[in-house]
Amino acid sequence: MAWNEPNENKDKDSWGKTSDQQGPPDLDEIIQNLRAKLNKLFGGGGQRMQGGNGSQILGRGGGTAGIALLILILVIAWLLSGIYIVKPAEQGVVLRFGKYLTTTDSGPHWHIPYPIEKVELVDVAQIRSYEIGYRSTGRGQSGSPVPSEALMLTQDENIVDVRIAVQYRIKDASYYLFNVRNADINLRQVIESALREVVGKSTMDFVLTSGRSETMVQTQKLAQQVLDQYNAGLIITSVNMQDAQPPEQVQSAFADAIKAREDEQRLRNQAEAYSNDILPKARGAAFRKIQEAEGYKSEAVAHAEGQTARFAQILKEYQVAPEITQERLYLEAMEKVMERSRKVLVDVPKGTNVFYLPLDRMANEGGSRDRHTISLDLDRLSSNGNNTSSNEEHTNQSNDDSHSHSRNRRAR
């Protein structure tokens, strides 16, 4: 009969105790009742036997099969708990009894369930950052300085305030977890040490002006070498300088020095601009003079060679006909001498030499010399014994008389 079936003993509770009996139920009876219920649950019956300690249940074969089925279900559930999935940005580190076993990549995997093996999932694609020399206080706000990290000594015994931001990620999850204790903190110390070494080998002007990028490159290279020696499993992606300036106590003096340096550079640039402007002009003028001299030299040499060749030709002609050549040379010379003269000298055979001033030629002085007309006063010439009838004949006669006069003078 079930414990909750109605009977005449209504005062008994579920543990078989009457309401008059006080105290907790017997532990053996509780275990026996629980075992009986489990047997009923898995299809097993039981025979009650009275013993010295109370009733006992004798199990049947069906109860044993139910327990085996329960154990099988528990074992399958335990094995299924070893399935895990690694995300694309993660690496799975499998540990067997706390010792590193292997590293798995993204995808579904299985390991022997706890407590034999367990898996540590590490995000290797996340970009992490550290700040050295300052701490950010919020988005859009300047960071608060950390003087113990920011102040560094340079090679020329000056102090500079350097603040940098470091970005890094995990390269190997197993190295990151087991080779170095607190790898992130060690990274900060390695970066700070490398930065102090690079700054200590540089001058103040180099760190504050032209050497900022080079300082960061050398710091990243040196820090990465140290991390690789430690097998820390970290890779530095970038080192950026946020600020580099002298200490606050000497910033005013340093600002004056920077201003003086900028003025010096400005004046130097102006001088270089003037030099770049004047030197090409001077070089061009000198080259032009040289070219003009070369041209004059070539012209003079060619002219001299031409004169020499002409003299040689005249000499040949003179040797053949001396009188004719001499006369021709004289006439050419007189033409050159009298070419620009404004007075005409007329040689009259019977009378004195008459000088005629050509007024029409003087009036038309701006015109071409080839178009000037020289006329003679026939009346004046006739009074001197010249009976030429026309200006043209008189001109021809004057030329002939001039030639004869020249010959007479040479003869005398």
Chain segment 209-247, per-residue pLDDT in tens: 888 889 999 999 999 999 999 888 899 999 998 888 888
- The Cα–Cα gap between 404 and 69 comes to 163
pLDDT at res. 40: 65
Domains of the chain, residue spans: 1-80, 81-123, 128-246, 253-320, 340-411
* Residue 402 banded pLDDT, cuts 50, 70, 90: very low
Both tokens of residue 360? 């029409």
pLDDT at res. 375: 40
Question: Which of 401-409's residues contact partners 24+ apart within 8 Å by CB, and which partners?
Answer: 401/346, 401/347, 401/348, 401/349, 402/345, 402/346, 402/347, 403/331, 404/347, 405/347, 406/330, 406/334, 407/327
pLDDT at res. 74: 86
Could you say which architecture CATH assigns to the domain 128-246? 2-Layer Sandwich (3.30)
pLDDT at 296 over 90: yes
Listing DSSP states for 113-158 in one string gives TTTTEEEEEEESS--EEEEESEE--STTSPPEE-HHHHEEE-TTS-
pLDDT at res. 355: 55
pLDDT at 371 over 50: no
pLDDT at 373 over 70: no
pLDDT at 55 over 90: no
pLDDT at 267 over 90: yes
Running DSSP on this structure, what letter comes out for residue 248? G
| Average pLDDT of the chain to the nearest whole number | 75
pLDDT at res. 365: 58
| 32 or 408, higher pLDDT | 32
pLDDT at res. 137: 72
Tokens 């021809």 sit on residue: 396
pLDDT at res. 251: 75
Tokens 């010295």 sit on residue: 52
- The Cα–Cα gap between 362 and 378 comes to 20
Q: What is the pLDDT of residues 142-194, one digit of tens each?
A: 568 888 888 888 888 888 889 999 999 998 888 888 888 888 888 999 999 99
pLDDT at 36 over 80: no
Q: Residue 400 phi/psi, 5° resolution?
A: -65, -40
pLDDT at 379 over 50: no
- The Cα–Cα gap between 57 and 32 comes to 7
Handedness of CA 211, 215, 217, 221 (dihedral sign): positive
**Cα 94 to the chain's mean position, in Å?**
45
pLDDT at 369 over 60: no
Half-sphere CA count of 173, side-chain side, radius 13 A: 23
Q: What is the pLDDT of residues 67-121, one digit of tens each?
A: 788 888 888 888 888 888 888 888 888 888 888 888 888 888 888 888 888 888 8
**Residue length, the chain?**
412
pLDDT at res. 291: 94
| 52 or 30, higher pLDDT | 30
pLDDT at 42 over 80: no
Q: What is the pLDDT of residues 331-362, one digit of tens each?
A: 888 888 877 776 666 666 666 655 555 656 66
pLDDT at res. 354: 57
The least confident of 4-18, 33-47, 177-191, 214-228 is: 4-18
pLDDT more than 90, % of the chain: 21
pLDDT at res. 342: 66
| 123 or 65, higher pLDDT | 123
pLDDT at res. 62: 53
pLDDT at res. 103: 84
